[in-house]
Amino acid sequence: MKLISFDLDNTLYDNAPVIQLAEQKSKEYLEAEFKKQNYALDYQSFIDYRNQFVLSEKNLLDNQPSEYENLSYLRQQVLLRLCDSLENGSNIATQAFNRFISYRNKIVIEPIIIDMLKQLEQRYTMVSVTNGNCDASLLSINYLFQRHYSPIGGYRAKPHPQMLSQIFTDFDLDPHQVLHIGDKDDSDGQAAREAGCHYYHFEPFVEGKLNPFQCEELIQKVG
């Protein structure tokens, strides 16, 4: 094995509080803007609009790509629809999106996770493969990764194997030389199986708590 690809959200950090805060800050901004124009924000409409475009795992494995696999594009389109009735709605939607992304990227990596990655980086090339819309280049652990892959770059989302297959091409590796590590068998695991590479289930965050033994087991398994 020569290369390890890591999922990001809920694999290397607890993503729930990050998303919760980002959603809250975006919602607060929207509520204020709607109120200025004598409207009440119906945030359930945002959720309903978004759910209309969320793709099932089966669809993600189809050969028909969708721009909505890019979660940033999906959010932008839903916000535009939500703000359509407002004066200057397009700008308000953009500002709500920017506020979400700003808080979306405020991610703190636990020291034990950083230590684990440093140990692995000494032996393997490492990349990230995520369906999320955080800017991985802004992470404190960015220097440990050679490259980042996500639907924002135009790739298909997991469980489609495109991002993993692209790694084989970019680093001139055979599938058996690559290990993908993630927290979801139905996306990370399925993508690895479709691509033909190895997979390790790593779910260190359960109910908001980090299980350090998961990190120790990973090091013992592949380190």
User: Residue 75 is part of a domain; what is its CATH number?
Assistant: 1.20.120
End-to-end CA, the chain: 11
State pTM to two decimals. Answer: 0.91
> What confidence score (pLDDT) does residue 136 get?
95
Whether the per-residue pLDDT at 66 is higher than 90: the answer is no
Length of the chain measured in residues: 223
Whether 91 and 149 share a structural domain:
no
CATH of the domain at 151: 3.40.50.1000
Residue that terminates a domain, selected from 104, 126, 159: 104
Q: 79 and 177, same structural domain?
A: no
Pairing of strands 209-210, 205-206: antiparallel
Which residues are CB-neighbours of 176 under 8 A, at least 6 positions away? 1, 196, 197, 198
Token reading at 190: 């399925």
Produce one character per residue of 107-136: b if its CB has 16 or more CB atoms within 10 Å, e if not. Answer: beebeebeebbeebbeebbbbbbbbbbbbb
Looking at 50, 74, 104, the residue that finishes a domain is 104
Domain extent for 31: 16-104
Q: Is the pLDDT score of 61 beyond 90? A: no
Instruction: Give the integer Cα–Cα distance in Å for 41 and 86.
Output: 11
195-218 pLDDT tens trace: 999 999 999 998 889 999 999 999
The answer on pLDDT for 55 being more than 70 is no
Rounded-to-integer distance, Cα 138 and Cα 106, Å: 9
d(CA 139, CA 30): 27
Mean pLDDT score of the chain: 93
Question: How many domains would you assign to the chain?
Answer: 2
Burial class (CB in 10 A: 0-12, 13-18, 19+), 192: buried
Same structural domain for residues 131 and 185?
A: yes
Does 56 score more than 70 pLDDT? Answer: no
Look at residue 68 in the predicted model and tell me its pLDDT.
Answer: 84
